[in-house]
Amino acid sequence: MPGHDLSGVVVELGYGTTGLDIGQRVFGLTDWTRNGSLAEYTAVEARNLAPLSADVDLTVAAALPISGLTAWQGLFDHGHLTTGETVLVHGAAGGVGSIAVQLAREVGARVIGTGRTSDRDQALALGVDTFLDLQTEKLEDVGKVDVVFDVIGGDILDRSAALVRAGGTLVTIAMPHPVRPTDGRAVFFVVEPDRARLADLATRLRDGRLKPVVGAVRPLAEAPAAFAPDKRTPGKTIIRVAQD
């Protein structure tokens, strides 16, 4: 069964599980080596889950685990982004990019977002200071930045290396770097489960600091069609397998 992100209610505990109770609302992700979230019941390692309070919508929460952890780890653990710095977020209206924009704004960074022409309004609504349209504008016009957060790869990633200021970081989640900044670091990483950080993200969801971009919400029977490449809609596609 495919799928990594999930939210729901604990129905059974494995031997020795601590920190969770039956009936508890949770969200999180299955390990990369094992999919399985697009199902009525999913076996998940407890370390990959964090509690969700009753007032957080399960549909919205399901949009956050991988995008939220990836954005956090990319910006702060790998990119070392801090207050007052400038970050260039590629794909700023997408699943990971939209969360990266909001987290970077929260820490007090200046955010330049990129995307397609149709992404401009969404990116501005999320809080980018500047939007660069990759279809009509020149990436190099951005100037130097402290951190690049890339989700696109290819030519955009190659050309982004030259935008990194001395001592800065080029972070990508798309592919290993073919090109590196002259005087900066380059990091390609795969997101790691982190219960404590998921709990931080849940707090932000609850108090409104984070708003995942939720796209289509479809029943389980329609999951294959929902993920067909030619049927994708903007925002995270959510598959509902049960009523809240």
Ligand X SMILES: NC(=O)c1ccc[n+]([C@@H]2O[C@H](COP(=O)([O-])OP(=O)(O)OC[C@H]3O[C@@H](n4cnc5c(N)ncnc54)[C@H](OP(=O)(O)O)[C@@H]3O)[C@@H](O)[C@H]2O)c1
Residues contributing to the site for ligand X (CB under 6 A): 66-67, 70, 91, 93-97, 115-116, 119, 134, 151-152, 156, 173-174, 190-191
Q: Angle CA(121)–CA(212)–CA(190) in degrees, nearest 5?
A: 110
Among residues 23 and 229, whose Cβ is nearest to ligand X?
Answer: 229
N residues, the chain: 244
Among residues 25 and 96, whose Cβ is nearest to ligand X?
Answer: 96
What is the separation, in whole angstroms, between the first and last Cα of the chain?
A: 21
Q: How far is the CB of 67 from ligand X (least distance, A)?
A: 6
Among residues 96 and 239, whose Cβ is nearest to ligand X?
Answer: 96
Q: How far is the CB of 232 from ligand X (least distance, A)?
A: 7
How far apart, in whole angstroms, are the C-alpha atoms of residue 58 and residue 65? 12
Q: How far is the CB of 15 from ligand X (least distance, A)?
A: 30
CA proximity to 234, closest of 117, 120, 95, 129: 95
Q: How far is the CB of 4 from ligand X (least distance, A)?
A: 9
Among residues 84 and 154, whose Cβ is nearest to ligand X?
Answer: 154
CA proximity to 147, closest of 129, 167, 119: 167
Among residues 96 and 109, whose Cβ is nearest to ligand X?
Answer: 96
Q: How far is the CB of 6 from ligand X (least distance, A)?
A: 15
Asked if residues 86 and 79 have their Cβ atoms less than 8 Å apart, the reply is no
Task: Give the CA dihedral 117, 122, 126, 130, nearest 10 degrees.
Answer: 20
